[in-house]
Amino acid sequence: MTDFNNQIPINYSEEDIKSLNWLEHLRLRPGMYIGKTGDGKSMDDGIYILVKEVMDNAIDEFIMGFGREIDVTIAPDHVLIRDYGRGIPLEKIQDAVSKMNTSGKFDSKAFKKSVGMNGVGLKAVNALSKKFEVTAYRDGKSKKVTFSQGLLVDDFPIAESKEKNGTQVYFEPDDMIFRNYQFIPDYLNDLFWNYAYLNKGLKIKINNQVIESKNGLKDLIEREAKEEQRLYPVIHLKNEDIEIALTHSNAYGEHYFSFVNGQNTTQGGTHLSSFKESLVKTIRDFYKKNFEASDIRMSIVASICVRIQEPMFESQTKTKLGTVNLEGEDNLSMRSFVGDFIKTHLDNYLHQNPETNDILQRKILRNERERKDMEGIRKVAKESIKKANIHNKKLRDCRYHYTDAKYNDRDKTSLFITEGESASGSITKTRNANYQAVFSLRGKPENSFGEKKAFVYKNEELNLLQHSLNIEEGIEHLRYKNIILATDADVDGMHIRLLLLTFFLQFFPELVRNGHVKVLETPLFRVRNKKQTIYCYSEAEKQAAIKKLQGKPEITRFKGLGEISPDEFKNFIGEDIRLTPIHISETVKIEEMLRYYMGSNTKERQKFIVENLILEKDIPIENQALES
C-alpha cells in the first residue's frame, strides 16, 4: 500500500527537534484534544466538545450527589454553564484550569466513575477560548480568574459571597481557531437531552428551557421510536452500573445509542459490541433457534449505558470505548459484564411478558423471510454490478481503504455523488485522489419512498450506489466517512437531493442520523475585477463583494456545477470545503416527513406550494438584474 503521507525532510538536525509547553501544543494541535476545529455545522465539531467538557465536570458533581440543577446560557458568541456542586477549591482554581496534569479526578475515591480522568478538559477549553472565565463558590466565599487564549488576564482575590456552592464557567471560542463558527440549536438540544436521559433527577435549564427525564433511557428510545412506529413497548432494564432500553420498529437499519459514564460514545466500542453479541445470544437461547444475527437486529432501536472505573477511550474526544477488562472487578471482562446482565434480565423479561416475546419472534421471522426472498434478487444484482463495473465507470474511487490499519485519517474519505458527466468530470480532475471518490448519477434516481429493500437491488443506479458505499449489509463497513451530495443549486438539483435523501432515510436512516450525509456548498456567483476574484455563496455575499471591489466588477452566475472549470473547482473541495450536514431534528417523524414530501400528491402539499410560491413578479427588481 502506498504511503500517501510519506514526506522525507531534506535536512534533519538538532534544530528540527522542538519542545512545546502544554498551551502551545493545545493551540498548535487542537485536533488531538477536541477533534475537528470546524465551524459548528457538524455535530462532531470542536465547539461542541468545548461545551461538553465543561458540562462533564458539572455532571460529575451531580453523579457524586452534589447539585441537582445546571444552568446553561448559549449565545451566538459565548457559553455560560453554572453548576451547584461543591465548587473548585478556591486556592486551586487557577491550577485546575491552566496546569496540565492537575485534577481532582486522579483520586478515584472522589470521582469513582467520572467521564474524564486525565485533567485535560477545562485546560483545552481555556486554551482554545478568546475569553475564559471561571468562578468558584464555596462556603460563603468566591474566587474568579480570567484568561485569554490560555494566558492569565486577571486573578481576583477571594471575596465574600451569598451564592450557593458550585462553579460557573464562561467561555468564548477563539475565532482564530473556529472561524465563522455558529452553534446549531438542534445539536445542542440533542447533547443536553442525552445528559438528562443519563441522569434521572437532573434538571438542566438552557436558555429558559427546562430539560429533565423521569425514566432515563426509556424516554430516549420512546423519543427515537415514536409510539406508532414501535412494535412493542420499550424494554427497560437497569441496575446501578448498567442500563439498557430497546424496541423494534418497522424501519430499516439498526439504530444504537451508547454511553459510558455519561459520555455519548458515538463510535461505540467494547460495551456496544458486547451488547450486540449478548443480545443475539440471549434471544437465540430464549427461542431455542439459531436465528441469523442480522434478522434479530434489523429494525432495532436500542441504547446502553455503563458506569465503570477508569474507562479507557481511544481518543481525548472519548467517542469510542476501548476498555476490555474492568478496573476493580477482579479483571471481569466487558463482554462478561454486559453479557451476564443481558442474559439474566432480558431472559427474565421475555418470560414475564409473553405478548412482547411473541411480537419480537414474529418480527425476527418476518426479517428472515424478507432476507431469504431477496437472496435470488441479490444474486442477479451482483452480476449486474460486475457488468456495470466493466462497461460503466460510474465510480472513480480513491486510493485510501478503510481496512488499512496503517492510517487513522478515515475522516477525510468522501464520496461525491454528482449529476452528469460534466460535473463529475470537474470534480474528478481536481479532487484529492487519495481520499475523495466520485460517483456519477445518470439522470434522476427513482423515488424509493414506501418501497421494500428488494427495490434497491432491482434498481441498477441505487444498487451500484449502495455497493460503492459498501452498505448492503449495514453501515458498519461504510466505505467513506462523508457522503456528499454535489448537485446543482437549481430545481432539478434540489429534486435529485430529495430523491437521494429519501433513499438514505428509507433504507439506511442511520447514515443521516450519524451525520455522514452532507450537501456540498458551491458558489452561486463569481465577482471579479482585474485584480481580485471573490466567490459568493449567497445574494448577500454577492452584494458585499460588489461593494468591496467597487466600480462595475464582472459578475457571473453559476447555473450548474458543470459550468465551474476544474481550475476553479479545486478551490471549493479542498481544505476550505463548505459542507452542510443533513440533520433530522428529534421532533421530526421521518416516515410522516417522507410521506408528505415524497408520497402521493396530497392536498396539504398542494396548499403549502400555493401559499409559499414566489413568482418572478414578486422578486425585487434589483435581484432580477441580468448577470453576465
What would the DSSP string read from start to end of 591-609? HHHHHHHHSS--HHHHHHH
DSSP class of residue 269 equals B
Q: What is the structure's pLDDT at 602?
A: 66
Angle between helix 354-391 and 460-469 (nearest 10): 100
pLDDT in tens, 179-219: 889 998 888 998 999 999 999 899 999 998 999 999 999 99
Q: List C-alpha distances in Å: 450 to 455, 467, 503.
A: 10, 21, 10
Q: What is the structure's pLDDT at 325?
A: 83
For domain 217-369, give its CATH number from 3.30.230.10, 3.90.1150.10, 3.40.50.720, 3.30.70.890.
3.30.230.10
Q: List C-alpha distances in Å: 284 to 51, 231, 300.
A: 42, 19, 16
Alpha-carbon distance of 557 to 624, in angstroms, equals: 12
23-211 CATH fold: Heat Shock Protein 90 (3.30.565)
The residue type of 443 is G
Q: Do the Cβ atoms of 524 and 559 come closer than 8 Å?
A: no
Element (H, E) at 580: strand 578-581
392-522+560-600 CATH fold: Rossmann fold (3.40.50)
Longest dimension (CA), the chain: 80
Q: What is the structure's pLDDT at 227?
A: 84
Pairing of strands 300-306, 255-260: parallel
In 3D space, the residue among 331, 293, 294 whose CA is nearest the CA of residue 310 turns out to be 331
Which stretches of the chain score pLDDT less than 70?
1-20, 100-119, 315-317, 328-331, 386-393, 401-409, 586-587, 601-602, 605, 609-628
Q: What is the structure's pLDDT at 419?
A: 85
Map out the domains of the chain as residue ranges.
23-211, 217-369, 392-522+560-600, 525-557
Q: Quick one: 20 exposed, middle or buried, by C-beta within 10 A (0-12, 13-18, 19+)?
A: exposed
Element (H, E) at 485: strand 482-486
Q: Do the Cβ atoms of 79 and 72 come closer than 8 Å?
A: yes
DSSP class of residue 333 equals B
Q: What is the structure's pLDDT at 574?
A: 85
Cell of 106: 486522579
Alpha-carbon distance of 361 to 510, in angstroms, equals: 24
Alpha-carbon distance of 590 to 411, in angstroms, equals: 27
Q: What is the structure's pLDDT at 406?
A: 46
In 3D space, the residue among 209, 187, 219 whose CA is nearest the CA of residue 70 turns out to be 209
Phi, psi dihedral angles at 135 (to 5 degrees): -125, 130
Go through 105-135 and write b for each residue having 16 or more CB atoms within 10 A of its CB, e for each that does not. Answer: beeeeebbbbbbbebbbbbbbbbbbbbbbbb
pLDDT in tens, 376-405: 888 777 777 766 654 456 889 988 865 554
In 3D space, the residue among 302, 300, 297, 301 whose CA is nearest the CA of residue 371 turns out to be 297
DSSP class of residue 170 equals E
